Amino acid sequence: MIYIWLHRCPVLDKRGMLTRRAVLTTVQRTLLTYSSRCLASSTKPVGAPTMSAAAPRKVNLALCQLLTSADKEKNIATATAAIKEAASHGAELVVLPEMWNCPYSNDSFPTYAEDIDGGTSQSVAALAAAARQNRVVLVGGSIPEKREGHLYNTCCVFSKQGQLLAKHRKVHLFDIDIPGKVTFKESETLTSGQSITVVDTEAGRLGIGICYDIRFPELAMLYAKRGAQCIVYPGAFNMTTGPVHWELLQRARAVDNQLFVATCSPARNPESSYQAWGHSTAVGPFAEVLATTDHQPGIVYTQLEYAQLDERRTNMPLTQQKRSDLYELLDKTQQ
């Protein structure tokens, strides 16, 4: 097309008008600029986030490590008070723990379960109101969800307007048996989710996993490929695996994928049959622990500077250095 245009273009005369050479130079420059732009975009990491103008550069994060009890009303009151407190300290993204509205036990899940899609969930209504009233993006930990004869371990994500943006059902159920130490079989009561969750929020693009989901690197890799800036895992590790694996897994997911990871645990309750490790933590894309705590109730604050993602990925362009001629991540969830 450019060729035709050039040859149809009048050759300009000697009266100070553009010469054919000048036209050629202009076209060459245009072509050069165009091709270098194409090159720049083709060397962008696969799945790098395509940020809209409204995408935040920095996000104030709060991880609410709540003390949960057998009293659901009290748990809801504790959660809403923590969200309010976090917002009053400037938090824009607030995270709650796994199973924050009930004790973490197979006996409790059926009793405390709520029908989220049926619109009758007391806990979800309280979270939506808290997100709206406090103008925060809320990753609402998880609660037992009942739907069509099944129970799920489900995390709801809300916008600052209190709109339900996404629902993640725990994909990998916590079934382990370390004799004499810890035995738990979520599959006795729960059904695993069938989809993975990346959600665009006013606090960035978030990947969602629940606790045991963190042990599966492929899930985090898929989230990174889909442009997640931070993977949020509400979780409740235990006294055996917590000390050895909790932080290690978070830092591994963060450094492998060069993104932020945030976890939020219940506080340890001495009266509970399941002793949670606590230690809600935020990790940066260089595997650095940004903020953490012990096992007591409290709120952990930090800031996620999303510009660090580009910086780390430029410094160390792992995505471009992958040997896709030797191996590849297979995404079976895409239609």
Ligand X SMILES: NC(=O)CCC(=O)C(=O)O
Give the catalytic positions in this structure.
98, 170, 211
DSSP assigned state of 13? -
Q: What is the DSSP string of 84-140?
A: HHHHHTT-SEEE--TTTTS-SSTTHHHHH-B-TTTT--HHHHHHHHHHHHHT-EEE-
Options 158, 174, 233, 306; binder of ligand X; rule CB under 6 A: 174
Farthest-apart Cα atoms in the chain, separation: 96
Residue 18 DSSP one-character state: P
241 binds ligand X (CB under 6 A): yes
Interaction mask 195-224, ligand X, x per CB under 6 A:
----------------xx--x---------
Of the residues 201, 229, 238, 269, which one makes contact with ligand X according to CB under 6 A = 238
Residue 84 or 245: which CB sits closer to ligand X?
245
Number of residues that bind ligand X (CB under 6 A): 10
- Interface mask toward ligand X for 73-112; x: CB under 6 A: -------------------------x--------------
Specify the stretch interacting with ligand X by CB under 6 A; choose among 56-64, 230-238, 289-297, 306-314.
Answer: 230-238
Q: Take residue 299 and report the two structure tokens written for it.
A: 């709120």
What are the start-end ranges of the H helices in the chain?
2-8, 20-42, 72-88, 108-112, 122-134, 217-225, 241, 247-257, 307-315, 318-321
Closest approach of ligand X to the CB of residue 104, in Å: 7
Least spacing, CB of residue 174 vs ligand X, in Å:
3
CA distance 247 to 245: 6
**Residues 247 to 266: which contact ligand X by CB under 6 A?**
none
What radius of gyration, in Å, describes the C-alpha atoms of the chain? 25
Residue list 266-325, contact with ligand X (CB under 6 A): none
Q: Which residues bind ligand X (CB under 6 A)?
A: 98, 174, 211-212, 215, 236-238, 241, 245
